[in-house]
Amino acid sequence: MRSRNVLLILIAVVVAAVCIAFGLWQLDRRAERVAMNQLATARMHAPPVVSVAELAADTGAARYRPVALEGTFDFEHEIVLTGRSHRGSPGVNVITPLRVPGEERAVLVNRGWVYAPDGATIDTAAWREAPAAMVRGYAMTFPPAQGAVTVRPGSVRRLDFDTVAALVPYPLAPVYVVDTAAADTTATGVPARLGGIALDEGPHLGYAVQWFSFAAIALIGVGIMVWRDHRTVSTPGRQNVVTAGGAR
């Protein structure tokens, strides 16, 4: 076998191995997503949490739990979460602390989406629904800190707990709530609710198939090239005949 063919085979094997590794990684990601969806489904069918203390007791177990909290919105300390799109339009999410009677800690409530041409600026005073509220939705944990998140006073790019906790004058629960309760979103002061949790497996299976296809293409393609080259070398007379015929 020619040294060139050996090199091509080695390259194809390496490329195929890398592609297969990426494909297996995507399958692992899909398995993690499926497991997360199963956990979310189980928790979504659990009895709703009705106290801030219960939410704060175990943040890991609180994620995706249904919530039914009654309290009063503190509009003076609400937070704008910038860069949130909805159906292709730029906007923000309105995050408002809810003070629950008898609870020392307030809980942040994502009341929904509001259109903002620049994806950052709204008149928060125009989006203040009734202060007394029964919030029904699900709990979410705060994402890990990833550097500076403050855009301007009262506005953040991400809900980093330490950042948002510094924006209110009282302790906060270590989880927040996404309000999914149906509301008249055409009324003044009512942001568009975000809806329930989207449970899907994501694009990981499709990506895995693509990576495995790339591996197959690399191996089959080089295999065909080596086979054709071997046939040409093993039948030199055929090449001479073709050359002579062409000369005529």
Tell me how many helices (H) and strands (E) the chain has.
6, 8
Last residue of a domain, one of 179, 214, 235: 179
**Is there a domain that residue 170 lies in?**
yes
Report residue 181's pLDDT band, with 50, 70 and 90 as the boundaries. confident
Give the mean pLDDT of 95-123. Answer: 93
Cα 39–Cα 160–Cα 204 angle in degrees, nearest 5 = 40
The total number of structural domains that make up the chain: 2
Q: Token pair 């592609």 is at which residue?
A: 19
Q: What is the pLDDT of residues 67-77, one digit of tens each?
A: 999 999 999 99
Report residue 232's pLDDT band, with 50, 70 and 90 as the boundaries. confident
**Is there a domain that residue 49 lies in?**
no
**Is there a domain that residue 19 lies in?**
yes
pLDDT value, residue 43: 75
Does residue 103 sit in the same domain as residue 174? yes
Whether the predicted pLDDT of 247 surpasses 50: no
Does residue 71 sit in the same domain as residue 173? yes
Does residue 144 sit in the same domain as residue 85? yes
Average the pLDDT over each of 79-88, 179-188, 198-207, 225-234 and give the range with the smallest value: 179-188
Rounded CA gap, 199 and 34, in Å? Answer: 9
Report residue 34's pLDDT band, with 50, 70 and 90 as the boundaries. confident
Whether the predicted pLDDT of 64 surpasses 60: yes
Does residue 112 sit in the same domain as residue 172? yes
Does residue 141 sit in the same domain as residue 104? yes
Does residue 169 sit in the same domain as residue 111? yes
**Is there a domain that residue 187 lies in?**
no
Amino acid of residue 117: P
Does residue 174 sit in the same domain as residue 206? no
pLDDT value, residue 80: 93
pLDDT value, residue 77: 93
Cα 124–Cα 126–Cα 132 angle in degrees, nearest 5 = 85
Whether the predicted pLDDT of 87 surpasses 50: yes
Report residue 147's pLDDT band, with 50, 70 and 90 as the boundaries. low
Last residue of a domain, one of 119, 148, 179: 179
95 neighbors 176 (Cβ within 8 angstroms): yes
Whether the predicted pLDDT of 94 surpasses 80: yes
Whether the predicted pLDDT of 238 surpasses 70: no
Does residue 94 sit in the same domain as residue 164? yes
Report residue 163's pLDDT band, with 50, 70 and 90 as the boundaries. confident
User: Quick check: pTM over 0.95?
Assistant: no
Does residue 75 sit in the same domain as residue 152? yes
pLDDT value, residue 234: 66
Rounded CA gap, 97 and 176, in Å? Answer: 9
Average the pLDDT over each of 9-13, 38-42, 149-153 and give the range with the smallest value: 149-153
pLDDT value, residue 242: 47
pLDDT value, residue 89: 92
**Is there a domain that residue 154 lies in?**
yes
Does residue 149 sit in the same domain as residue 214? no
- Name residues whose C-beta falls within 8 Å of residue 122's C-beta, 6 or more positions apart in sequence: 80, 91, 92, 94, 114, 115, 116
- Which ranges of 121-235 does DSSP label H, i.e. alpha helix? 161-165, 204-234
Cα 173–Cα 177–Cα 182 angle in degrees, nearest 5 = 150
Does residue 175 sit in the same domain as residue 73? yes
The parent domain of residue 148 ranges over 65-179
Does residue 116 sit in the same domain as residue 20? no
